[in-house]
A and B are shown apart, each in its own frame.
Chain A
Amino acid sequence: MVQMPISFLVNGERVDAVVPARLNLADFLREHLKLTGTHIGCEHGVCGACTVRVDGDIVRSCLILAVQMHDATVETIEGLSDSGEVADLQRAFRERNALQCGFCTPGMLMAAQDLLKHCPVPDRDRIREHLSGNYCRCTGYQAIVDAVETTARMRAP
Chain B
Amino acid sequence: MTTTRANSDVLSMLDRPNSYIGKSVPRPNLDRLMQGRGLYVSDMELPRMVHVAFLRSPHAHAKIVKIDAHDAKRMPGVISVVTGEELATVITPWIGVLSHLKGLKSAPQSAIAIDRVCWQGEAVAAVVATSRAAAEDAAENISVEYEALDAVTDVIAALDPETPIIHSSLGDNLAFERNHDAGNVDKAFAQADQVVEAEFVFGRHTGVTLEPRAVVADWNVAEARLTIYQGTQAPHMVQNIAALHLGLTESQVRVVCKDVGGSFGIKVHIYADEMAVYALSKLLRRPVKFVADRVESFNTDIHARDHRCRAKIGVKQDGIITAFEIDDLTGIGPYSMYPRTSAIEANQVVNLVGGPYANSNYRARARVVFQNKNVMCQYRAVGHPIACSITEGLVDLAAMKIGMDPVEIRRRNLIADDGYPCASPSGLRFERLSHHASLNELIAMMDYDGLRAEQAALRAKNIHRGIGIASFIEVTNPSAAFYGVGGAKISSQDGVALRLDAQGSVICQTSITEQGQGSESLTAQIVGSVLGVPMQCVRVIMGDTDNTPYGGGTWASRGAGIGGEAALQAAKILRRNILNVAAAILQSMSADLDIVNAAIVNVSDGALRIELSELARIVYFRPDTLPPGVQPELMATRHFVPREYPFAFTNGIQASWLEVDTDTGFVRLLKHWVVEDCGTIINPQLVDEQIRGGVVQGLGAALFEKCIYDERGQLTNANMADYLVPMPSEMPDIDVGHVVSPTLESELGAKGAGEAGTAGAAAAVSNAVNDALRPFDTIVTEIPLTPRVILAALGRI
Contacts and interface: CB of A to CB of B under 8 A. Distances in A.
A67 interface: no
B12 interface: no
Most buried by A among B33, B42, B261, B517: B33
B727 A135 contact: yes
Nearest to A124: B733
Contact of B260 (A35, A46, A101, A139): A101
Given A35-B36, A43-B293, A135-B720, A94 B31 contact: yes
Contacts of B721: 44, 46
A143 B689 contact: yes
Given A95-B26, A103-B261, A137-B210, A143 B692 contact: yes
Contacts of B131: 31
Given A128-B731, A141-B731, A102 B696 contact: no
A77 to B, nearest CB: 4
Interface in A29-46: 30-31, 35-44, 46
B447 interface: no
A90 B210 contact: no
Interface string B379-409: 0000000000000000000000000000000
B412 interface: no
- Give me the 4 closest cross-chain CB pairs, A-B, nearest first: A37-B36, A102-B33, A100-B516, A103-B261
Given A44-B294, A90-B35, A102-B30, A137 B728 contact: no
Contacts of A100: 262, 515-518, 689, 693
A138 B516 contact: yes
Interface residues of A, number: 55
8 contacts: A37-B38, A40-B42, A44-B719, A101-B33, A101-B211, A105-B33, A139-B693, A141-B726
Given A90-B35, A132-B730, A139-B692, 20 more contacts: A36-B36, A36-B40, A37-B36, A42-B294, A90-B31, A90-B34, A96-B685, A101-B211, A103-B210, A103-B211, A103-B261, A105-B34, A129-B728, A135-B208, A136-B728, A140-B693, A141-B728, A142-B734, A143-B689, A145-B733
A120 interface: no
B210 A140 contact: no
A47 interface: yes
B697 interface: yes
Interface in A41-55: 41-44, 46-47, 49
A94 B31 CA distance: 8
Given A103-B262, A137-B264, A142-B731, A94 B34 contact: yes
Contacts of B209: 101, 137
Contact of B693 (A93, A133, A138): A138
Contact of A47 (B36, B42, B720, B734): B720
B689 A103 contact: no
A115 to B, nearest CB: 11
Contact of A41 (B30, B39, B263, B294): B294
Nearest to B263: A101
A61 to B, nearest CB: 13
Interface bin, chain B: 35 or more
A135 B211 CA distance: 11
Nearest to A98: B689
B692 A142 contact: yes
A144 B728 contact: yes
A33 B289 CA distance: 19
Given A103-B262, A137-B209, A131 B36 contact: no
A135 B725 contact: yes
A97 interface: yes
Given A101-B260, A141-B731, A81 B211 contact: no
A39 B692 contact: no
Contact of A138 (B39, B262, B294, B729): B262
A37 B35 contact: yes
A128 B728 contact: yes
Nearest to B723: A46
A77 B37 CA distance: 9
A94 B518 CA distance: 12
A109 interface: yes
A150 to B, nearest CB: 14
Given A136-B210, A140-B734, A102 B34 contact: yes
A43 to B, nearest CB: 6
B777 interface: no
B686 interface: yes
A78 interface: yes
B617 interface: no
B27 interface: yes
Contacts of A121: none
Contacts of B720: 42, 44, 46-47, 135
Interface in A99-157: 99-106, 109, 124-125, 127-129, 131-145
Given A129-B729, A137-B264, A104 B35 contact: no
Most buried by A among B32, B516, B692: B516
A101 B35 contact: no
Interface of B: 26-27, 30-40, 42-43, 131, 133, 207-212, 259-264, 293-294, 515-518, 685-686, 689, 692-697, 719-721, 725-731, 733-734, 757
A102 B131 CA distance: 26
A134 B263 CA distance: 18
B262 A137 contact: yes
A96 to B, nearest CB: 8
Contacts of A44: 294, 719-721
B750 to A, nearest CB: 18
A38 B734 contact: no
A97 B26 contact: yes
Contacts of B693: 100, 137-140
A93 to B, nearest CB: 6
A156 B593 CA distance: 50
Contact of B34 (A41, A99, A139, A143): A99
Contacts of A131: 728-729
Contacts of A141: 696, 726, 728, 731
Contact of A36 (B30, B43, B696): B43
Nearest to B729: A132
Given A93-B34, A142-B734, A104 B696 contact: no
A144 B727 CA distance: 12
Contacts of A38: 36
A99 B26 contact: no
A147 to B, nearest CB: 11
B36 A81 contact: yes
Contact of B210 (A49, A132, A142): A49
Contact of A137 (B294, B686, B725): B725
A97 B211 contact: no
A141 B729 CA distance: 9
Nearest to B209: A137
Given A128-B728, A128-B729, A77 B35 contact: yes
Nearest to B40: A103
B728 A77 contact: no
A138 B515 CA distance: 10
B211 A39 contact: yes
Nearest to B137: A1
Contacts of B264: 137
Nearest to B727: A132
Nearest to A109: B34
Most buried by A among B26, B30, B208, B210: B210
A43 B294 contact: yes
Contacts of B730: 132
Contact of A78 (B33, B36, B725): B36
Nearest to B212: A41
Contact of B261 (A39, A133, A140): A39
B719 A101 contact: no
